Amino acid sequence: MNALTELRVLPPPGTREAPKPPGLAASTRLAVRLAWRQLRSEKARLASAIAGVMFACMLVFMQLGFRSALFESATTLIGAMRADLFLMSPMTLASFRPEPIPRARVSQALAVEGVAAAAPVYLAQSSFRNPATGTRRTIQLIGFDVEAGVLDLPGLASVREALKQPDSFAFDARSRPEFGPVTAMLAERGAFPVQIGNRDLRVVGTVELGSSFGADGNAVVSEVNFRRVVSARKASLVDLGAIRLRPGADLLATQAALRAILPPDVGVLTQAELRAHERRYWEEATPIGFIFSFGSLMGLIVGMVIVYQVLFSDIAGHLKEYATLKALGYSSGYLGRVVLGAAGILAVLGFVPGTVISSILYGVVADATFLPLNMTVERAAWVLVMIFGMCAAAGLLASRKLRDANPADMF
């Protein structure tokens, strides 16, 4: 009781008014601090919650990564073409399986003012015999007018002349490895024959394009050589027309002019429209886009359940404490903010390592699949928003349990 002497320093008994509550920012800060103190007091539970959020985060990153890699790789060939406008059959769903158009349409395009060059592009799936093992795999054959310069791939300039030789082709060095160590063999012994379709073609160099969901690998050939390999194809049919405009020509006006003179058996698309068309195919006409969205959603749901479990059992295990806080005059809203604060802390603590691990995984998977997987700030921001949403939903669900904390039961 000797402590009584110290009482003089304490303020006099309370004012009759209720204390002025802290501002929203201050009280939220206090609520989050309380949440953190509670979370860190149970290390195992905290670790499992962070692991859950991290897992959800990685799942979403991988799904979104694959999804965008798919869409990106589906349009790399189009992106590599130095063309402003494309002629394509309106029946074509995706460029890896094109419906042919009459070759004459490409020449007709030259009649329109503003068109500088128009060249045909040929696309076909053919089989490629692995020069090391002898097994066959489907490869995408890209035929183009070597002189017209519509195709612009890294490495193409140095093999352009060689491609004019009969039965020669350039191999896409970023094809999947199942096609064999073509690049290494080429460096070792120079040009050597490989069977494509039913012909032996000599590989004369490499270009870089990359595999996609539509094509595991690519072989680039001249127009003439394409016809030799795909002999069944009528000479009057091509797959795409690539059109380059004169400098200063108006893109949309030229597009409209082309539409006006060409019969309806060809569509005229800008590069952006063709890319969008390709994307739409993978997004809508195949289940692939849906599968990845679904995968992301599953990741978020699993993460939400884990976070909910942790927050719920935290509340259920501390009902007495929460009821005590209510008796001390803390409102239900404040306690709700404590729970949401815990959810927010878990979101951040799971997101940071989840993002780091995902970036590493992107590298590993990109090396293994040759898909263009990489971490972007935009995607990270999206995932952060989703993870926050997931944790907030879990927090809101769990905070319903706060109603069971009844201060009247405390006495």
Partner 1 sequence: MLGDPIELESVTYAYGDGALRREVLRDVALRVAPGEIVILTGPSGSGKTTLLTLVGALRAAQAGSLRVLGQELAGAGEGVRVSLRQRIGFIFQSHNLLGFLTARQNVAMALELDGAIEERARLARAGEMMAAVGLAEHTEKLPGQLSGGQRQRVAVARALVHAPSLVLADEPTAALDRASGGEVVRLLRDLARSRGTAILLVTHDPRILDVADRIVMMEDGRVVSGSAASVLPAGAPAGLAAPGGAPRG
Of the pair 13, 134, the CB lying nearest partner 1 is at: 13
CB of 46 to partner 1, least distance (A): 11
Strand partners, 141: 124, 219
Distance from the Cα of residue 363 to its chain's centroid:
14
| 3-state secondary structure at position 167 | coil
Q: Which stretch binds partner 1 (CB under 8 A): 30-38, 62-70, 72-80, 361-369?
A: 30-38
Residue 177 as a binder of partner 1 (CB under 8 A): the answer is no
State which of residues 195, 286, 324, 359 lies at the interface with partner 1 (CB under 8 A).
324
CB of 392 to partner 1, least distance (A): 23
Residue 10 as a binder of partner 1 (CB under 8 A): the answer is yes
Give the integer Cα–Cα distance in Å for 227 and 169: 13
Q: Which stretch binds partner 1 (CB under 8 A): 6-14, 43-51, 184-192, 254-262?
A: 6-14
Q: CB–CB of 57/383 below 8 Å? A: yes
Of the pair 3, 377, the CB lying nearest partner 1 is at: 3
Residue 7 as a binder of partner 1 (CB under 8 A): the answer is yes
CB of 342 to partner 1, least distance (A): 12
Strand partners, 196: 128, 199
Residue 260 as a binder of partner 1 (CB under 8 A): the answer is no
Q: CB–CB of 394/308 below 8 Å? A: yes
Q: Which residue has the tokens 């004369």?
A: 204
Tokens of 232: 């069944």
Q: Which residue has the tokens 């006099």?
A: 12
Residue 329 as a binder of partner 1 (CB under 8 A): the answer is yes
Of the pair 332, 376, the CB lying nearest partner 1 is at: 332
Residue 410 as a binder of partner 1 (CB under 8 A): the answer is yes
Q: CB–CB of 206/173 below 8 Å? A: yes
| Segment (H or E) for 124 | strand 115-129
CB of 326 to partner 1, least distance (A): 8
Tokens of 390: 């997931």
Residue 235 as a binder of partner 1 (CB under 8 A): the answer is no
Task: Give helix then strand counts, H and E, for the chain.
Answer: 13, 11
Give the integer Cα–Cα distance in Å for 320 and 64: 43
Residue 336 as a binder of partner 1 (CB under 8 A): the answer is no
| Segment (H or E) for 187 | helix 182-189
Residue 47 as a binder of partner 1 (CB under 8 A): the answer is no
Of the pair 24, 260, the CB lying nearest partner 1 is at: 24
Residue 113 as a binder of partner 1 (CB under 8 A): the answer is no
Q: Are strands 218-222 and 267-270 parallel, antiparallel or unpaired?
A: unpaired
Binding site for partner 1 (CB under 8 A): 1-4, 6-7, 9-14, 16, 18-23, 26-27, 30, 37-38, 40-42, 318, 320-321, 324-332, 407-408, 410-411
